[in-house]
Amino acid sequence: MVKQYGVLYQDTRRALLQTENVQDAGVLARMLVCQASGKSQAEFLADRDLYASEKIVQEVASINENREKLPCDIDGAVIKVNDLSQREKMGATAKFPRWAAAYKYPPEIKPTVVEDIVVQVGRTGVLTPKAVLAPVRLAGTTVSRAPLHNLDFIRERDIHLGDYVTVQKAGDIIPEVVRSLPEKRPEGTVEFTMPTHCPDCGSVLVTEGPITRCDNSECPAQLIKNIIHFVSRNTKYIHSLSF
């Protein structure tokens, strides 16, 4: 059992998957080496020869530091026992080998600038603000847009037009504005306000709490998005459609 953030994990691998701290990864890597050598943790810690695990910690940290220079994108490192006889001794569960453990790095966070905030009308008429960002390379792709969800989200993160912000990819896929950097705020930034009229059909918008909506059932933006939804994979799954 591995205790991590007060939660007991059944095995080292699962705990490694949950940790975002390289020091924790070091402790867990040591435990993995213990398992491989068949020694208890106390025996292991007393054995100076086995302090090679410190090298594992350093290696995991150094791979992270040099991530940018690698020819491909990575989101973690895998620690493996390289002695084949030890691998055999450790065996495997139905799902994974016990002699390997994955360590996932915390998401990459980068600064950029909010150049504009645009609003889009969704299928149900709800308006979603989106940040137009100065392009930034993040976890393998160039990010230039990020959803801002609603007005509450923008207020909570104190995002102004023209602000410096930090961005990350949630689950390494969807770009997300983490926070604004008010200490770097240039003069003349503008606080964002929702439009009063639909950007697509011009109808007066309705506001309910943090939600702003276009109630016009003939709003072209909503009609087009409804058709796209109707033919999409999750509904009718129509392969082609023409007008």
**Is 60 an interacting residue with respect to Zn ion (CB under 5 A)?**
no
If binding means CB under 5 A, how many residues of this protein chain bind Zn ion?
6
* Shortest distance in whole angstroms from residue 119 CB to Zn ion: 11
* Shortest distance in whole angstroms from residue 205 CB to Zn ion: 8
Retrieve residue 46's tokens: 């007393």
- Long-range contacts, 211-219 (Cβ 8 Å, 24+): 211/126, 211/150, 212/126, 212/127, 212/150, 212/151, 213/124, 213/125, 213/126, 213/127, 214/121, 214/125, 214/127, 215/125, 216/125, 219/121, 219/125
Cα radius of gyration rounded to whole Å, the chain: 25
Integer Cα distance of 120 and 19 in angstroms:
37
Site residues (CB under 5 A) for Zn ion, limited to 199-238: 200-201, 214, 216, 219
* Shortest distance in whole angstroms from residue 130 CB to Zn ion: 17
- CB-nearer residue toward Zn ion: 11 or 200: 200
**Is 176 an interacting residue with respect to Zn ion (CB under 5 A)?**
no
- CB-nearer residue toward Zn ion: 134 or 204: 204
- CB-nearer residue toward Zn ion: 49 or 218: 218
* Shortest distance in whole angstroms from residue 235 CB to Zn ion: 22
- CB-nearer residue toward Zn ion: 10 or 124: 124
**Is 198 an interacting residue with respect to Zn ion (CB under 5 A)?**
yes
Burial grade of 235 (CB within 10 A; 0-12, 13-18, 19 or more): exposed
- CB-nearer residue toward Zn ion: 86 or 120: 120
- CB-nearer residue toward Zn ion: 57 or 198: 198
* Shortest distance in whole angstroms from residue 150 CB to Zn ion: 17
* Shortest distance in whole angstroms from residue 199 CB to Zn ion: 8
Residues of this chain that interact with Zn ion (CB under 5 A) are 198, 200-201, 214, 216, 219
